[in-house]
Amino acid sequence: MICVQVCEYKYLLQKADCDERNLDHVPSSTGCENSTTLSLERNHIKQLLAESFLEFNNLENLYMSDNNLSMIQSGTFINMKHLQNLFLSDNDIRELRNDTFVGARSLRRINLNRNSILDIGKHAFHNLSKLVALHLSHNIIQYLQPTVFHGLKNLQRLALDNNALENFDNQTFKGLTQLISLSLHGNKLTQLPNGLFEGLTCVQEIVLSENGLHKLPLSSVLGITSINRLYLDHNDFKTTAIFTSYLRVTHEQLNIGDNPFECDCDFKEIQEWYRNVSQEYFLGTSVMCSIRNVTYNLGNLLPFNCNKYFSTSSHSPMTPVRISSTSDQSLLTNDLLTTQRNDEIGCNTTGWKIATALLSLYSIACTFALILLRAEIIQLFQNIYVAVPG
């Protein structure tokens, strides 16, 4: 079966269109030798062999989404030195070995969304230094080797959402200095290791929604120093106190909606802070807490007083500031750093007023006792002086 017989070859575009031809294997290149684009989408091809593309030496774009691919043989891309875009989504690929992409050193985009990938070799993407986008969403990946992305110095977008990832080594994203967007949505993460995002100096967006996260390190400890959008919605966070440090470094959106927050002083501080910030800043929809069957959102202030300096959290309080410029952001940062709060002290000030009053009464009593004691001592010495003869 040859290309020119089963495909439509578009000479001006140098494209062989072989979509929906009921093909079960890749046709030979005869008649399409000069193709820079080969499209084989929506066919029934089950495997790619070392000889599948031997004569397609000029390919820059290969589209094979929505086939029945389950295996890519070693050497499949060995002669595809010009290949830039590889789309293999909606197949049944189960493994990416260390030699899967050998030879395709010009690759810039790989789309492997919606496959059955479980295992990825630690050098599967070795020598793909030109890669700018890697999509691995909707697979069944449970674990990533710490070095799997090392060497991808130009990678800008990495999508790992809707897998089964439970944890990471803190070296996993090391060296991805050009990364702009990282999506980890819909995995099974419950916590993140210190330094996981350290060195991601260009990152603008990290998506961590719909995991099981219940705690986070401080932003500086996690490695986030500046970011535009951070998505933490639909997790298992109970307190908003852990987001204090992230408000300092997130510029447009810190999405914390749909978490089971407790109605405490930390939540009220978020409410008061949000009332005074620029409307351009977004904390997400469904940011709320419930107490005694009453639900409070960002605009419905909790009906109790909190002492600014003595709250239930160990993080610094958030003095309400309108964020509309870089200088305002600096002001907020300074305010956030001003006060260290005590974990042991509750947010209700009534107890403290009573304690202070009792302490004052105790001090007065002690002072009065000292005065009486001093008077008694003076009287004693006077009596002794009178009793002793001239």
Tens-digit pLDDT profile for residues 251-284 = 999 999 999 999 999 999 999 888 887 667 889 8
The burial class, CB within 10 Å (0-12 / 13-18 / 19+), for 315 is buried
Tell me, what's the pLDDT at 61?
98
Question: CA neighbours within 13 Å on the CB side: how many for 189?
Answer: 31
d(CA 101, CA 80): 10
User: Which among 24, 80, 22, 31 is positioned nearest to 51, based on CA atoms?
Assistant: 80
Higher pLDDT, 336 or 117: 117
Can you tell me whether residue 266 is helix, strand or coil? helix
CATH fold for the domain made of 1-130: 3.80.10
Higher pLDDT, 123 or 337: 123
**229: which 2 tokens?**
């959008």
The burial class, CB within 10 Å (0-12 / 13-18 / 19+), for 384 is exposed
Cα-based distances in Å from 141 to 96, 167, 197, 211, 311: 11, 11, 20, 15, 41
Tell me, what's the pLDDT at 344?
26
The pTM of the whole model exceeds 0.75: yes
Higher pLDDT, 312 or 205: 205
Q: How confident is the model at residue 366 (pLDDT cuts 50, 70, 90)?
A: low
- Token match 């008649």: residue? 31
pLDDT above 80 for 64:
yes
Q: Report domain extents, the chain.
A: 1-130, 165-348
The enclosing H or E element of 200 equals none
Tens-digit pLDDT profile for residues 282-341 = 898 899 998 888 999 998 899 888 865 333 333 333 433 333 223 332 323 333 332 223
Q: Are 70 and 45 in contact (CB under 8 A)?
A: no
d(CA 337, CA 317): 8
Tell me, what's the pLDDT at 276?
84
Can you tell me whether residue 365 is helix, strand or coil? helix
Q: Right CATH number for 165-348 from 1.25.40.10, 3.30.365.10, 3.80.10.10, 3.40.605.10?
A: 3.80.10.10
Tell me, what's the pLDDT at 314?
35
> Do 1-130 and 165-348 agree at the fold level?
yes
